[in-house]
Structure 1
Amino acid sequence: MSLFSSETVTFETPIAMLVACHDRVRQYAALTLKLAQYLIKEGADTKAQDAAAGILRYFDVAAPLHHNDEDLDLFPLLSQYGNAELKAIIASTSAEHKTLGLLWQDVRSYLIPLAAGQGGKLPLALASEFSKRYPAHADLEETLIYPSAELLLDASTLSAMGQNMTNRRIQNTAQDKTL
């Protein structure tokens, strides 16, 4: 999604919304590498703390919701209607969500103290791996899986999926308020 685009993406167009989420994944994954590089030169100043807090917020809240959108809605629907090749791609891609989640937990362990002003390191090799693997995963989904949604899913199915995505976020917001 271009920053200068006049088109607004909503949950009424769930596949476009998933792509927009991937754009943010790419931005925050790149920011993670920039942060590691910045820490080497500038140290853990307030800019670094703010960047760490932003990355934490995105990957702790939005990324898990996005993975649920795929794992609970899109992938099961496509597996129901897709051929064996698509089902195999979906299975391996969905399994990669767990691997990416573990990688995130490793990165997160450095960002939490940094965001709180208590630490100032993020290994460059770890940040580099994170900044490559998440966008590569998104690219794979957009190239090999998402195009099948337009071919296999009708408008009412996509609409129901978009509503599920909306409800998931409403429920998440309500849970945040009770904490």
Structure 2
Amino acid sequence: MFSPTASLPGFDSPIELLLACHEKVRRFAGLCQRLEQHAALHGADDEARTAAASVLRYFQIAAPLHHADEEEDLFPALRELGDVSLTARIDELDAEHGRLGDLWCCVKPWLEAMSQGARHPAPPELSAFATLYPEHALREEREIYPAVVRLSRDRLAEIGQRMAQRRGAR
């Protein structure tokens, strides 16, 4: 089980790093749902403001980097394998990134308002966002990530280097 205090894998293990990001997706998506319930009872109190700011930080900074890791590096490398079935699943999941982005655009203003102490009802898209994001991550883990064993060590190292560069780490 992922512990929030555990250190993240390094860029020399890009898939492990992506999996760790998925654990954070699950954690922050769940926090969205709990925040909605909390805010309904307590409004935008300190706890709600802190939770909203945490969710905002993750989905504004880390999630776009994670999507770029997949869309710009991992998915193209896996498409190069020439597996028609795998490519079709990658295409489906790649397209879901757009749907998740659309949902984020609906949820973000509510989280921004909540982080500033404003009490507003959660948008109707919050439930779909909090449900679909973890489901998407699970599908990637089950349908796409297992194919990574077919990539060369050099290709994986290249993916890890690009992930590091994207984050200004190397």
TM-score over 0.5 for the pair: yes
Name the residue aligned to 1:147: 146
The CA RMSD over aligned residues, in Å, is: 1.8
Counterpart CA distance in 2 for 1:124 and 1:31 is 15
Instruction: Please list every run of at least 4 consecutive aligned residues from structure 1 whose deviation after the TM superposition is greater than 4 angstroms.
Output: 4-8
> Sequence identity, in percent?
41
Q: TM-score, normalised by structure 2?
A: 0.93
Q: Is the 8 A contact 1:107 1:122 kept in 2?
A: no
Q: Which moved more, 1:43-52 or 1:135-144?
A: 43-52
The alignment status of 1:164 with 2:154, answered yes or no, reads no
| Residue ranges of structure 1 left out of the alignment (5+ in a row) | 172-179
Counterpart CA distance in 2 for 1:140 and 1:86 is 12
Q: Is the 8 A contact 1:79 1:86 kept in 2?
A: yes
Shift of 1:46: 1.1
Shift of 1:134: 0.1
Counterpart CA distance in 2 for 1:146 and 1:43 is 40
Q: Aligned pair in 2 of structure 1 residues 58, 7: CA closer, same or farther (>3 Å)?
A: closer
Counterpart CA distance in 1 for 2:114 and 2:122 is 12
Q: Secondary structure at the match of 2:80?
A: helix
Name the residue aligned to 1:105: 105
Count of paired positions: 169
Shift of 1:82: 3.7
Q: Is the 8 A contact 1:33 1:124 kept in 2?
A: no
Q: Which moved more, 1:120-129 or 1:160-169?
A: 120-129
Counterpart CA distance in 2 for 1:73 and 1:114 is 35
Shift of 1:123: 2.2
Name the residue aligned to 2:65: 65
Shift of 1:8: 5.1
Q: Is the 8 A contact 1:56 1:111 kept in 2?
A: yes
Shift of 1:7: 7.4
Q: Which moved more, 1:55-64 or 1:162-171?
A: 162-171
| Residues 44-89 of structure 1: CA deviation (Å, up to 9, x unaligned) | 1111011110000000000000000000000000001141000000
Q: Aligned pair in 2 of structure 1 residues 62, 4: CA closer, same or farther (>3 Å)?
A: closer
Matched ranges for 1:1-179 at <5 A:
1-3=1-3, 9-117=9-117, 119-123=118-122, 125-150=124-149, 152-170=150-168
Q: Is the 8 A contact 1:52 1:111 kept in 2?
A: yes
Counterpart CA distance in 2 for 1:8 and 1:39 is 31
Q: Secondary structure at the match of 1:44?
A: coil
